[in-house]
Amino acid sequence: MGIEQKLANMGVVTTSLEQAVNWARTNAMWPMLFGLACCAIEMMSAQASEFDMSRFGMELMRASPRQSDLMIVAGRVTRKMAPVLRRLYDQMPDPKWVVAMGDCASNGGVFNNYAIVQGVDEIVPVDVYVAGCPPRPEALIDGILKLHQKVKQEKLATWA
Amino acid sequence: MAELAQTIEKLKEKFPNAIENVREFRGEYTVQVKPDALVEIGAFLRDDPDCDFNFLSDVSGVDYWPEEPRFGVNYHLLSIKYKQRVRLKVRLKGPNPRVPTVTSVWPGANWFERETFDLFGVTFVGHPDLRRLLLPMDFRGHPLRRDNPTVQEEVQFTHNFDQVDRTKPYAKS
């Protein structure tokens, strides 16, 4: 306690590498634009001014997978779109996370038929599922904050 | 409305053998024709100056299983000049139905016929580019036929959660 306080008075902060890196990752996690259907509208409104996602670090959404960390799969994924989604996920550099937004991305939603993939976790590994049809922007932000908590607990050994 | 009835009468006298059935319901006329005469009747309806059905607004398929003949294909025609609509219907048999294409008469039928082929499996003889439109190219089967199951995956409740979970193809990484 003593030495840290003395260092803090001098303007030095001590932490562990894990904490520092995880803090950096969560505070500037840029989502990739992957709005497929109606959930995209709620994702857009979560990014817009009333339910601002930029407060939490998602300042902008990159359309290019090479420049993004987080893929928010917003909407139903058809069987025709599934290989495209996988390809874009593969093109994202590590570290990357996936949020399945809405019921259709989590488990197929109301569409239990030949054309819709029953849950995007058949294609990519999902970290957080956000329920709702569509989930309110606040619910999406809550899901993203849960993801932040999950990332903050990552250990050095499991980094990519 | 009176003009449409006259058009149907004219059609009946010109093609007495090809027309199987004419049905009228609240001003809408449905003419069931034989599949072989379809293109000829279509060309007549398009070219005749009194009918002038130059706009094909829809081609759709129906599966009437277990009733025979099993498949039906409906053609919805619109005459822009006279503001009349008429429906042509063909009934086709069997597991691999074939019908001549009407793209030579109305080129707009191209994608409609592709969609009907994709979802029902109806082969349109003479179509310039008959391949799948809505479903992925390597999809097997024709989903809107009645012998396909309506449900893709069993609904997961608490009592069968683990069982469905085991068979679900999760992504590994």
Q: What is the pLDDT of residues A64-103, one digit of tens each?
A: 999 999 999 999 999 999 999 999 999 999 889 999 999 9
Q: What is the rounded distance in angstroms from the CA atom of residue B156 to the CA atom of residue B163? A: 9
**ipTM for the assembly:** 0.76
Asked, for residue A8, whether it belongs to a domain, the answer is no
Question: In the predicted model, is pLDDT for residue A5 greater than 90?
Answer: no
Nearest to B152 among A118, A121, A125 (CB): A118
Q: Is B170 on the interface with A (CB under 8 A)?
A: yes
Domain B2-167 class in CATH: alpha beta
Hey, are the CB atoms on B143 and A119 less than 8 Å from each other? no
Domain of A58 in residue numbering reads as 30-153
pLDDT by residue (tens digit) across B42-60? 999 999 888 889 999 999 9
Q: Is B167 on the interface with A (CB under 8 A)?
A: no
Residue B151: its chain A contacts at CB < 8 A?
A: 112-113
Nearest to B153 among A112, A124, A125 (CB): A112
The CATH number covering residue A67 comes to 3.40.50.12280
pLDDT by residue (tens digit) across A134-154? 999 999 999 999 999 999 998
Residues with pLDDT less than 50, chain B: none
In chain B, where are the structural domains located? 2-167
Give A57 to chain B, closest Cα distance, Å. 26
Determine whether B139 is exposed, middle or buried from the number of CB atoms within 10 Å of its CB (0-12, 13-18, 19+).
middle
Q: What angle is formed at CA A51 by the lines to CA A153 and CA A55, rounded to 5 degrees?
A: 50
Please report the pLDDT score of residue B1 as a whole number: 53
Give B57 to chain A, closest Cα distance, Å. 25
Q: Read off the amino acid at residue A61.
A: M
pLDDT by residue (tens digit) across B114-131? 999 999 999 999 999 999
Residue B155: its chain A contacts at CB < 8 A?
A: 112
Nearest chain A residue to B153, by CA: A112
* Residue A60 pLDDT level (bands cut at 50, 70, 90): confident
Q: What is the rounded distance in angstroms from the CA atom of residue A106 to the CA atom of residue A73? A: 9
Hey, are the CB atoms on B152 and A107 less than 8 Å from each other? no
Hey, are the CB atoms on B155 and A112 less than 8 Å from each other? yes
Asked, for residue A5, whether it belongs to a domain, the answer is no
Residue B133: its chain A contacts at CB < 8 A?
A: none
Q: What is the rounded distance in angstroms from the CA atom of residue A38 to the CA atom of residue A43? A: 9
